Amino acid sequence: MIDEQLVHIVESHAGEIAGQWAREICASRFTPTYSRFSHEELTERSRRVYENLGNWLDMDTGSDEISREYTQLGRTRYLEGFPLSEVLYGLHITKKVMWRHIMSSGVLNSALEIYRALDLIVRLFHFYDLAAFFIARGYQDALYQALKKESGQTSANLEEVLRREMPVGTLTENQAGVRRNWLESWNLFKTR
């Protein structure tokens, strides 16, 4: 089946694809925090994702496993000092580099082959959407825990800590409203 062939291409070339990801992530103006890590460490982090692609896309892998892995990734990236936007952009680059490799492999060179691969494409989009959600959830949880610990949970303290954690300069009235809504939405995302 073409799905299995495509997954095999990604998994068997994981090191090469991960190296390309590391080069792109370090070259991007949107991800300066990643440049604190060596090329080898970044390659290794990314390689694990590509090597396990088949496991993540397996129909038996539920959102619980993806939740555990990527919620923890979000927490870890927060504790490492990454802005959430960089982490999510890194995930985007992961998908982009993988697709470029698949397309250059010559396996999908007709509309019929692309149609046959549609199931895999849908599963990949589903996986990456879930991964982004759980990364954000883990990141928010770690941020919430840091704010809770530092602030003692008073609204005034949370607002001050949030200003330090997520500096945006002088807030317009609209930005202040967004920040208040963000604080109020924590109850939807925090994990206990």
Convert the pLDDT of each residue in 131-180 to its tens digit. 999 999 899 888 877 877 776 655 556 666 656 655 545 545 555 555 45
CB 132 within 8 A of CB 31: no
Sorted by where each begins, the domain ranges of the chain are 2-139
Cβ-Cβ contacts under 8 Å for 21 (sequence gap 6 or more)? 42, 43, 46, 93, 94, 97
pLDDT band at 187 (very low <50, low <70, confident <90, very high): very low
Specify whether the CB–CB gap between 20 and 11 falls below 8 A.
no
* Structure confidence by residue, pLDDT tens digits, 51-78: 877 777 765 566 778 888 899 999 999 9
Residues 2-139, CATH architecture: Orthogonal Bundle (1.10)
Distance, CA of 31 to CA of 50 (rounded, Å) = 20
